[in-house]
Amino acid sequence: MSPRFTINAGIAGIVVAACLLPADLPAAVPTAEARFAAAWESRRGEPFKEVPVAPPVFNGHPRFARAYSLAIIHFALRVFHNAETNEYPLANRKIIENCRFYVENKDVRDDRDSFYWNVGELCRAVLHYGAKGDVAPGRLSSEAESAFREMAFGYCHDVSKLADAECDGTKTWRVYESENHHVQRNSAIWQLMHVLLKADPAYGARTLADGGTLRAHYEAWEDFFCAWMRERAKRSMFIEVQSRGYGIHTIKNIYPLYDFSERPETRLLARNFLDLYWALWAQEQISGASGGGMSRVYPSGARSTFGEAAVWAYWYFGINPSFNRRPYGMDYVCLDSSYRPRPLIGKLAADATARGVYEIEMRPPGWALPEDKYPNYRPDPEWGRIYRYTYATPDFIVGTQMYPQTAFTNWCMISSQNRFHGVVYGPRDAQLLPLPEPKGRHVKDSTLPSLAYNGFWSMQRNGTLLTRKNRYPRYSGGIRVWLSAAGGVDKAEKDDGWWFTRCGGAYSAVRVAQGGARLAAAGPKAEIPCERNGKFLVCEDEWSPVIVETARACDFPDEAAFRAKVKATRFALSPSELDYTGIYGNRFRMLLDRDDGSTIDGEPYVKKIAWSIHSPFVQMPWRGDSAEINFGNETIRLDFRLPGTTPSNL
């Protein structure tokens, strides 16, 4: 069965979503290695399906060749891995065709949306199956490898610049196009150079367009990525914070450094960085559904808890087989890599009950320096003006990003675009999400709006979340609350000004502070078009604050007791202020007529904490040199120091 996929064009590029694993394949496999083997086998024998090069997705851009190359490269990698010998000739012919296409169409090669998205998987095919392959030499023909070399050297010659690889101090925070685009392009350069040097070390002496040798470029780019990993770990990781889609597009580029670098210190640094990424993911999900405040989560993604990380987590940890699928897209990076998260991270991911109730704090970058101007992003690496807070329990996760109300031009667009927050429950796709209605920009060939910048402003402590339309939005309307059909969240009942609902072991309540609200059906053919079924609680007043209370059902005798607790909360609203004391006892003063001065329990709601990451399970001091992962009676220390240094001389 071939994958069904849709292509939606947004401002940052193309989002390709594959179908989920059909029910006729195993629903659960006991060990990680067996799950990886089953994923490879799931596509055995599938015939090659040609995908044509598509017209441009944006006016003035070259043709779109990503899906064309994906079809070829993943077919070839799969048949070589599975030793499907009858398909070798076709796989080699198509690789030659793919490489010649980019040699002959440099405009497509150099565009942001085609070449570097999947060339890393082709590099893996050459390293494993080329003439000097480390798995099965010779499955890739000499003609195909020659075509690859011509394409690879041409790209490196024309695109790589030593000046771009400069990594002194915090210069790795200069971001071009977007975080994931920048890293994908630079990783493609390093991987292509690595394959060329492995095939023939004489490539190292060849000169590139800027006058530097290929060897000098190769070393500079590896230095760049080592500095990049250290900087991100020290400063709360990514600008595109916890993005369900783009996060994997970024992190996949660390895998080749772990798998192929010839420097032991690079491999160790890459392993530690990957472990930190997966530990952060593990502590902020329930059954594979990630929660907390995020950036760049498109509207369709906001209706689903699906993300590629959930697929990979099933293969790694066995969490939630409903996220399993036949491998597609960047899945092959995960499947082919020798990296496995350390066992402690798997335990942390799998046991929400043992994790208990806890808070997670981070201070991600996002504030734009004066020289920030699209497509060149320049975030302030020292203080992003964002306090990211998550409250996690075995039954739900609720989190947001808190930041000052200010003009959207003060934020890097990749930080302020499609910010996401709300409640994620245990069942797949079960969510309660107070999000702004995107207005004015639409995904190509879709009825769904795609982009909203600086859309909401929020405050949170424990399971109490207050939010409102930002005073300085772009392409954003009023807040409306998504209530998913999954988990029965949309079965909300109105009682004394509150809308009450339950999902599994969690109770939630929503109050629209001013004006009325109505429930509107959402779905593929409903009043509000949406990819999944559910309802929106739509505010009549687009500026109304919205209050969300969520608690564990086990903390109350019954639902009536929860309702009574919510209805007894202290609530006072004036044109200038919302004064509210929630069910956890926290007092919120949300000032409605100015940009600053709001408080939680008498303190400023945006905290400049001394941590890059802080929770009971993951701790990394701000600009620290090592992180710790703790669970049960075990501890892992992840070292991000430069080789030969100690904490005292950093």
User: Pick from 108, 142, 157: which residue ends a domain?
Assistant: 157
Report the pLDDT value the prediction gives residue 445, as an integer from 0 to 100. 44
pLDDT at 11: 29
Most confident of 55-64, 247-256, 320-329: 247-256
> Can you tell me whether residue 637 is helix, strand or coil?
strand
| Token code pair at residue 9 | 């064009």
**Residue 218 — φ and ψ, nearest 5°?**
-60, -45
Instruction: Give domain status of residue 486, yes or no.
Output: yes
Is residue 295 domain-resident?
no
**Alpha-helical runs (H) found in 130-213:** 142-159, 179-199
Mind giving me the DSSP string for 584-606?
Answer: TS-EEEEESSSSS--EETTEESS
Check whether residue 476 and residue 446 sit in a common domain.
Answer: yes
Secondary structure class of 282 (helix, strand, coil)? helix
Same domain, 510 and 631: no
96 and 140, same structural domain? yes
Do 587 and 628 lie in one domain? The reply is no
- Identify whether 230 is part of a domain: no
Q: Give me 112's structure tokens.
A: 């942001």
Whether residue 15 has pLDDT greater than 50: no
Per DSSP, what are the bridge partners of residue 535?
483, 521
Q: How far apart are CA 616 and CA 343, in angstroms?
A: 18
Region 522-535: what's the mean pLDDT? 89
pLDDT band at 329 (very low <50, low <70, confident <90, very high): confident
Cβ atoms of 119 and 191 within 8 Å: the answer is yes
pLDDT number for residue 3: 29
Higher pLDDT, residue 321 or 58? 321
Per-residue pLDDT for 409 more than 90?
yes
Exposed / middle / buried, residue 180 (Cβ in 10 Å: 0-12, 13-18, 19+): buried
CA distances from 204 to 57, 167, 266, 433, 642 (A): 37, 21, 20, 52, 26
Q: Which of 107-111, 168-172, 435-439, 632-636 is least confident?
A: 168-172
Instruction: Tell me: do 557 and 643 sit in the same domain.
Output: no
Residue 236 confidence (pLDDT) above 50: yes
577 with 645, same domain? no
> Which two tokens mark 313?
């987590």
Considering the domain boundaries, does residue 374 fall inside one? yes
* H helix or E strand, kind and range, residue 13: strand 13-18
Instruction: Indicate if 493 and 553 belong to the same structural domain.
Output: yes
Q: Which domain holds residue 115?
A: 31-157
Average of per-residue pLDDT values in the chain: 91
Nearest residue to 381 via CA among 198, 563, 228? 228
* Listed residue (68, 58, 70) closest to 443, CA to CA: 58
Q: Report the number of secondary-structure helices (H) and strands (E) in the chain.
A: 18, 30
Residues 6+ apart with CB under 8 A from 68: 51, 52, 53, 54, 98, 101
Question: By CB neighbour count within 10 A (0-12 exposed, 13-18 middle, 19+ buried), where does 236 fall?
Answer: buried
Residue 402 structure tokens: 């808190």
- Asked if residue 622 and residue 601 are part of one domain, the reply reads no
Same domain, 485 and 629: no
Which residues lie across from 579 on neighbouring strands? 572, 589
Task: State the pTM of this model.
Answer: 0.93
454-468: average pLDDT? 97
Do 432 and 538 fall within a single domain? yes
Assess if residue 482 is contained within a domain.
yes
- What domain count does the chain have? 3
Contacts of 8 (CB under 8 A, 6+ apart): 14, 15, 298, 300, 443, 444, 445, 446, 448, 450
Element (H, E) at 344: helix 343-350
pLDDT at 298: 82
Looking at residue 28, what is its pLDDT? 63
Alpha-carbon distance of 141 to 281, in angstroms, equals 40
Residues 362 and 473 in one domain: yes
Polymer length in residues for the chain: 650
| Cα atoms found within 13 Å of the Cα of residue 482, Cβ hemisphere only | 32
Domain membership flag for residue 18? no
Residue 65 within any structural domain of the chain: yes
Same domain, 541 and 644: no
Residue 620: burial class (beta carbons within 10 Å; 0-12, 13-18, 19+) = buried
Does residue 5 register a pLDDT over 70? no
Average pLDDT over residues 562-566: 98
Q: CA-to-CA distance for 158 and 207, rounded, in angstroms?
A: 11
- The Cα angle at residue 643 between residues 259 and 231, in degrees rounded to 5: 75
Q: What is the mean pLDDT of residues 300-318?
A: 86
Name the domain boundary from 105, 124, 157.
Answer: 157
Q: Is the predicted pLDDT of residue 109 greater than 80, yes or no?
A: yes
Give the integer Cα–Cα distance in Å for 17 and 380: 33
pLDDT of residue 344: 97
Torsion of CA 27, 29, 30, 34, to 10 degrees: -170
Residues of the chain above pLDDT 70, percent = 92
- 200, two tokens: 């023939």
| Mean pLDDT, residues 3-16 | 30
Of 118, 133, 157, the residue at which a domain comes to its end is 157
Give residue 642's pLDDT.
Answer: 79
Identify whether the C-beta of residue 130 lies closer than 8 Å to the C-beta of residue 197. no
Residue 220 domain-assigned (yes or no):
no
